[in-house]
Structure 1
Amino acid sequence: MTKYIRRAAALCAVLLLALLVNATRVQVFQAGAYDDNPANRRQTIARYGQPRGAILVGGRPVTGSRDSGQQLRYERTYTDGPLYAPVTGFASQVYGTTFLENSEDGILSGSDPLLSPFPLWNDATRAQNPAGKVVTTIDPAAQRAAYRGLGTRRGAVAAIEPSTGRILALVSTPSYDPGELSGTGRAVKHAWERLNGAADKPMLNRAIRQTYPPGSTFKVVTAAAALDAGVVTDLDTPTTSPDPYRLPGTTTRLTNELEGCEDASLRYAFEWSCNTVFAKLGVDVGLSDMTRTAADFGFNDRLRIPFSVAPSNFDTTLDKAQLALSSIGQFNTRATPLQMAMISAAVAGGGSVKTPYLVEKTTTRSDSTVSTTGPRTLHQAMNPATALRMRELMTDVVTEGTGANAAIPGATVGGKTGTAQHGIDNLGTPYAWFISWAQADGTMEPAVAVAVVVEDAAADRGDISGGGDAAPIAKAVMEAVLGF
């Protein structure tokens, strides 16, 4: 009998060992595969089982959470949803996350191990950290000024602090309320279908995901390239620029909208936006120097702020005729509003292009800092001496040229207008552009650089201009940042 008891005990020991081995295999070595299995809803239920962390603008939360009482318990809520949608994006139980809700999901959901002082303990116990917070760089006054200025028109605004790269405003219109996509009900599906099917694309973030021909605002890049390359040495010396200008290797003649552009100086051509002068300057500078300067301003870069930005394009394989058109912001040159704000910020910042960023810091629920973001130089776009002369040119545009609508009493303002043609045979409604920077009197450096684009400017086609349609919006944003 004792022999059989020993055998039974040995068998039980073997079975127990096999059970332990199998449990270890399942719970340790295959845990990741089971966790990531789409059929496993435990993670999703746990994810929405606690309130989501807040996104802060100006020290105040613009997001929250609502207890729905459903299995996916906490739904995202938004304060001034359409105003901040290009910044926050949405967090939906059905359709996932976008923008800051996506790029900072680890902090906002509580899954980032940096939120816990004992991450290994959390891994062992499967405990969930309380959600953290994301503090943005957005200036609420500037954001509201940009949103009000665009109104019902399609367009976008980006504003940057030149000395640091902090993004002060990021607006896209028309917009939408991200709260419509929170929850799991039938209304969420209907909202998704309506928003994605809308002709005016309210979910498109035009400030960072849409590229436009920049038109005459690109002449800032061409002028900087010409000055750095020594093609122009004196702002007031006449250039050898015919009017009209025949594009090299073609019979096409480029003309201007105004008189006085033949052999005009760089100062006059910049103030009044002479196409012929800048097209010829681009050819004189040459493809190599033009592409290098455009790249130094940020063209063809792939940026993250922390979510991705559509690359702005300056072609590196152009013939001379194409280079001439590209040098006035046409042909296939395209830029996001954020890129054009970076150009203006480079002029204001002594030629240095700072990496733009949207998140100041992330914190735990109790406000202990998890991570911070600081200024970082992306490129040196031009010599500091060239930047000084470009500041002079941009200031002249506002004081004497096409950008008078952006002038602010008590501040020095530099700007550049642009009217970008597009569509088949350039028959589409031109885009109205204005890029600018502002420095309050008595301060050490410019406080803000702005880019505004209006797709459907409210004017007759022949009267549309960046100075008339976009400059007043830029002025309002600059005044908000300056506190005027």
Structure 2
Amino acid sequence: MTRNIRHAAAFCALLLVALLVNAARVQIVQAPEYDDNPANRRPDIARYQQPRGDILVGGEPVTGSRDTGEHLRFERTYQDGPMYAPITGFASQAYGTTLLEGAEDGLLSGADPLLAPLPLWNDVTGAPNPGGDVVTTIDAAAQRAAFEGLGRRKGAVAAIEPTTGRILALVSTPSYDPQLLSGNSAAATRTWDRLNSDPDRPMLNRAVRRTYPPGSTFKVVTAAAALDSGVVRDLDAPTRSPAPYTLPGTRTRLTNEADGCRDASLREAFEWSCNTVFAKLGVDVGVRAMAATAEAFGFNDSRLRIPFAVSRSTFDTSVDRAQLGLSSIGQYNTRATPLQMAMVAAAVADGGQVRSPYLVERTLRAGGSILATAGPGPSREAMRPSTAARLKELMTGVVENGTGAIAAIPGATVGGKTGTAQHGVGNSGAPYAWFVSWAQGDDDLEPRVAVAVVVEGSAADREDISGSGLAAPIARAVMEAVLTS
């Protein structure tokens, strides 16, 4: 009898060991496979069992969470969703996260281990952390001015604080309401399909994810290169520029919209946006120096994040002299995001320094304590301070005496540059209207805002498309909003 008991006990012990080994195999070895199995809903249920942290503008949340009472309990909500969509992106139970919702997902969802009160706290307690909050750099008044200024037009606005790189406004139109994508219902699916099939691409963030030919606004970069390289030494000296200008090695004759561009000084050419003068200046500077200046401003840099990725603005470095002439007036393969052109204007305003733009001011734990603070990053020199001072003078002249007069603001010094960019085969597309600018109040010690606006014109109003007519009034409204806040 004792022998049988021993055999039974040994067999039971063997079964227990087998069970433990199998449990360890399932929980350790096969855990990743089960976690990644589409049929496993536990991660999703855990993710949405508590409210998500908020994204704040001016100290007020522009996001929230709604208790649905379902398995995926909390659903994202948005205040002024279309206006802030280029900043927040969406947080969808069905389609994931984008923009700030994506870049700061760990913090907002509570998954970031830095939110735990003590190291390994969550591993011991098994309790999730409450989601943290993200405080943005956005100026609510500037954001609204940009959004309402664009209205029903397709386009984008980016505004920066020149001395820090803080992003004050980031708008893209047409936009969409991210709340309609928050859940996993049939209505969310229909909205997703509708937005993705819309030819106007409302979910495209034109301010940071689309590049445009910058047209004459790129002449700020060309002027900086010409001044830094010594090709131009006197703003008021004739530039010996023919009009029309035959592009080197071709029979293509470049002309101007304005009169009086033949041999115009840099000041006159900048104020009246003479293509012939700036194309020849670019050729005289040479591709190496032009590319170096463009890259100092941020072109050809694919590493920029704010914290989500920004599309690379480009200046082609493998061009012949004719192509260089076109590139130097913001055509050919030169392309830029509105954020990049705001960085160009900000560099002029800040004495030639380029500050890395950033969108997150600080992050907070659920109780309000500070988790991390961003602040300005290192700067780099895009041009000599003396060159920046002369470009400020040139940009101020555009508003006081030239094509950007509509951007003038009483009680402030405003510098600007208009642009109308051609595109499409044989320039068949409706032009893009550009305006880049900066503003400094009479009582301010330094410029407070730099803005870039692009408006995609329609075929119907092709003849009326201009940077001064479409883009400059929007830029002025954004600058006024910042100066009066």
Specify if TM > 0.5. yes
Amino acid at match of 1:222: T
Q: What pairs up with 1:190-205 in 2 under 5 angstroms? A: 190-205=190-205
Equivalence for 2:389? 388
Secondary structure at 2:66's aligned position in 1? strand
Equivalence for 1:448? 449
User: How far is the alpha carbon of 1:457 from its aligned partner?
Assistant: 6.4
Secondary structure at 2:417's aligned position in 1? strand
User: How far is the alpha carbon of 1:195 from its aligned partner?
Assistant: 1.2
**Is the 2:244–2:253 Cα contact (8 Å) retained in structure 1?**
yes
Equivalence for 1:85? 85
What is the RMSD computed on CA atoms of the aligned residues? 1.5
Distance of 1:380 and 1:37 partners within structure 2: 51
Equivalence for 1:126? 126
Equivalence for 1:257? 257
Percent identity, aligned pairs only, is: 72
User: How big is each residue's C-alpha offset from its partner over 1:17-61, in whole Å with a ceiling of 9 and x where there is no partner?
Assistant: 333333233323443332233221100111111111111011001
**Is the 1:107–1:115 Cα contact (8 Å) retained in structure 2?**
yes
Q: What pairs up with 1:81-230 in 2 under 5 angstroms? A: 81-230=81-230
Equivalence for 2:16? 16
Runs of 4+ in 1 over 4 A off after TM superposition: 457-460
Equivalence for 1:336? 337
Secondary structure at 2:153's aligned position in 1? coil
User: Is 1:288–2:288 an aligned residue pair?
Assistant: yes
Distance of 2:217 and 2:25 partners within structure 1: 62
Equivalence for 1:279? 279
Please, which runs of 5 or more residues in structure 2 have no aligned partner?
none
Equivalence for 1:241? 241
Equivalence for 2:402? 401
Query: TM-score, with normalisation over the residues of structure 1?
Result: 0.97
Distance of 1:319 and 1:453 partners within structure 2: 28
Distance of 1:11 and 1:367 partners within structure 2: 58
Q: What is the total number of aligned residue pairs between the two structures?
A: 484
Please, which runs of 5 or more residues in structure 1 have no aligned partner?
none
User: How far is the alpha carbon of 1:352 from its aligned partner?
Assistant: 1.0
User: How far is the alpha carbon of 1:465 from its aligned partner?
Assistant: 1.4
**Is the 2:430–2:459 Cα contact (8 Å) retained in structure 1?**
no
User: How big is each residue's C-alpha offset from its partner over 1:76-125, in whole Å with a ceiling of 9 and x where there is no partner?
Assistant: 11100011000011111111111111111101111111111234131344
Equivalence for 2:318? 317
Amino acid at match of 1:101: E
Equivalence for 1:4? 4
Q: 1:340 to 1:77 in 2, by over 3 A?
A: same
User: How big is each residue's C-alpha offset from its partner over 1:443-474, in whole Å with a ceiling of 9 and x where there is no partner?
Assistant: 11111000000102698433321111111100
Amino acid at match of 1:73: R
Secondary structure at 2:278's aligned position in 1? helix
User: How far is the alpha carbon of 1:262 from its aligned partner?
Assistant: 0.7
User: How far is the alpha carbon of 1:127 from its aligned partner?
Assistant: 2.2
User: How far is the alpha carbon of 1:146 from its aligned partner?
Assistant: 0.3
Equivalence for 2:462? 461
Q: What pairs up with 1:429-444 in 2 under 5 angstroms? A: 429-444=430-445
Q: 1:458 to 1:405 in 2, by over 3 A?
A: farther
Distance of 2:89 and 2:332 partners within structure 1: 32
User: How far is the alpha carbon of 1:373 from its aligned partner?
Assistant: 1.1
User: How far is the alpha carbon of 1:192 from its aligned partner?
Assistant: 1.0
The farther-off stretch of 461-470 and 56-65 is 461-470
Distance of 1:459 and 1:353 partners within structure 2: 38
The farther-off stretch of 210-219 and 185-194 is 185-194
Amino acid at match of 1:59: G
Amino acid at match of 1:237: A
